[in-house]
Chain A
Amino acid sequence: MSEKQEDISELLGRLEKLAKDEQLDLEREITDLKARLVPVQKNREVQPSSAWDRVCLARHVDRPGTLEYISMICDDFMQLHGDRCYGDDPALIGGIGSINGRAITFIGNQKGSNLKENIRRNHGMGHPEGYRKALRLAKQAEKFSRPIVTFIDTSGAYPGLEAEQRGIGEAIARNLKEFSVLKVPVICFIIGEGGSGGALGIGVGDKLYMLENAVYSVISPEGFASILLRDSSKAEQAANTMKITATDLKEFGIIHDIVSEPSGGAHKDPQFVASQIKDIISRDFDILCTKQPSRLVRYRIKKIRGIGHFNGPAGSWWDQLLNIYPLTRALR
Chain B
Amino acid sequence: MVDFDMKHIVDCPSCKVSIQRQRLEESLYVCPECGYHFRLTPAERIQQIADTDSFLEFAAELTSQNPIELIGYESKLSQNQRKSDLKDAVVVGNCLIDEQAAVLGIMSFQFMGGSMGSVVGEKITQAMLQGADTNTPVILFTASGGARMQEGIFSLMQMAKTSSAAALLEETGTPLFIVITHPTTGGVTASFAMLGDIIMAEPGALIGFAGPRVIEGTIGEKLPKGFQTAEFQLEKGFVDSIVHRKDMRATLAYLLRIHANRGN
Q: Which residues of A contact B (CB under 8 A)?
A: 25, 28, 157-161, 163-170, 172-174, 176-178, 180-181, 196-197, 200-201, 203-204, 216-219, 223-224, 227-228, 241-244, 248-249, 252, 254, 300-301, 304-305, 307-315, 317, 320-321, 323-325
Given A170-B194, A173-B193: A310 and B171 interface contact (C-beta under 8 Å): no
Q: Within the assembled complex, what's the spacing in Å between the Cα atoms of A106 and B62?
A: 40
Contact with A along B117-135 (1 / 0, CB 8 A): 1110110011001001100
Whether the pair B161, A173 counts as a contact (CB closer than 8 A) is no
Give the distance to chain A from B47, nearest Cβ to Cβ, in Å. 25
Give the distance to chain B from A258, nearest Cβ to Cβ, in Å. 15
B-side contacts of A242, CB under 8 Å: 68, 152
Q: Within the assembled complex, what's the spacing in Å between the Cα atoms of A313 and B123?
A: 11
Whether the pair B152, A204 counts as a contact (CB closer than 8 A) is no
Whether the pair A309, B118 counts as a contact (CB closer than 8 A) is yes
Q: Which one, B59, B118, B152, B236, contacts A315 given CB within 8 A?
A: B59
Whether the pair A173, B149 counts as a contact (CB closer than 8 A) is no
Whether the pair B163, A164 counts as a contact (CB closer than 8 A) is no
In the assembled complex, B61 has its CB within 8 A of some CB on chain A: yes
In the assembled complex, B254 has its CB within 8 A of some CB on chain A: no
User: Smallest CB-CB separation from B145: which chain A residue?
Assistant: A227
Give the distance to chain B from A141, nearest Cβ to Cβ, in Å. 17
Contact with A along B212-225 (1 / 0, CB 8 A): 00110111100100
B-side contacts of A168, CB under 8 Å: 190, 209-210
Whether the pair A181, B161 counts as a contact (CB closer than 8 A) is no
Give the distance to chain A from B163, nearest Cβ to Cβ, in Å. 4
Whether the pair B159, A200 counts as a contact (CB closer than 8 A) is yes
In the assembled complex, B111 has its CB within 8 A of some CB on chain A: no
Whether the pair A181, B167 counts as a contact (CB closer than 8 A) is yes
Q: Within the assembled complex, what's the spacing in Å between the Cα atoms of A160 and B209?
A: 10
Q: Within the assembled complex, what's the spacing in Å between the Cα atoms of A244 and B70?
A: 13
User: Smallest CB-CB separation from A216: which chain B residue?
Assistant: B153
Question: Can you list 16 pairs linking A and B with CB atoms under 8 Å apart?
Answer: A158-B218, A159-B210, A165-B236, A177-B163, A177-B170, A196-B147, A200-B160, A219-B149, A241-B71, A254-B157, A301-B164, A305-B164, A308-B117, A308-B157, A312-B61, A317-B129
B-side contacts of A157, CB under 8 Å: 190, 209
Give the distance to chain B from A318, nearest Cβ to Cβ, in Å. 11
Give the distance to chain A from B211, nearest Cβ to Cβ, in Å. 8
Whether the pair B210, A164 counts as a contact (CB closer than 8 A) is yes
Q: Which residues of B contact A (CB under 8 A)?
A: 59, 61-68, 70-71, 117-119, 121-122, 125-126, 129, 132-133, 147, 149-161, 163-168, 170-172, 186-187, 189-195, 208-210, 214-215, 217-220, 223, 227-228, 236-238
Whether the pair A308, B154 counts as a contact (CB closer than 8 A) is yes
Give the distance to chain B from A39, nearest Cβ to Cβ, in Å. 23
Give the distance to chain B from A101, nearest Cβ to Cβ, in Å. 32
Whether the pair A243, B152 counts as a contact (CB closer than 8 A) is yes
Q: Within the assembled complex, what's the spacing in Å between the Cα atoms of A313 and B60?
A: 10
A-side contacts of B151, CB under 8 Å: 218, 309
Q: Within the assembled complex, what's the spacing in Å between the Cα atoms of A307 and B163?
A: 13
Whether the pair B238, A167 counts as a contact (CB closer than 8 A) is yes
Give the distance to chain A from B125, nearest Cβ to Cβ, in Å. 7
Whether the pair B158, A308 counts as a contact (CB closer than 8 A) is yes
Whether the pair B209, A159 counts as a contact (CB closer than 8 A) is yes
Q: Which one, A170, A223, A228, A252, contacts B154 given CB within 8 A?
A: A252
Q: Within the assembled complex, what's the spacing in Å between the Cα atoms of A174 and B154?
A: 20
Whether the pair A311, B63 counts as a contact (CB closer than 8 A) is yes
A-side contacts of B218, CB under 8 Å: 28, 158-160
Q: Within the assembled complex, what's the spacing in Å between the Cα atoms of A200 and B156?
A: 8
* Most interface-central of A157, A216, A228, A307 (chain B CB within 10 A): A307
Give the distance to chain A from B101, nearest Cβ to Cβ, in Å. 17
B-side contacts of A166, CB under 8 Å: 236
* Most interface-central of A163, A165, A169 (chain B CB within 10 A): A169
Whether the pair A176, B160 counts as a contact (CB closer than 8 A) is yes
Whether the pair B209, A197 counts as a contact (CB closer than 8 A) is yes
Q: Known pairs A305-B164, A312-B62; list 20 more (Cβ under 8 Å).
A: A159-B214, A160-B215, A160-B219, A168-B190, A169-B194, A173-B159, A177-B164, A196-B147, A200-B156, A241-B68, A252-B67, A304-B157, A307-B160, A308-B117, A308-B121, A309-B66, A309-B154, A315-B59, A324-B168, A325-B168
Whether the pair A249, B153 counts as a contact (CB closer than 8 A) is yes
Whether the pair A308, B194 counts as a contact (CB closer than 8 A) is no
Whether the pair B153, A159 counts as a contact (CB closer than 8 A) is no
A-side contacts of B161, CB under 8 Å: 304-305, 307-308
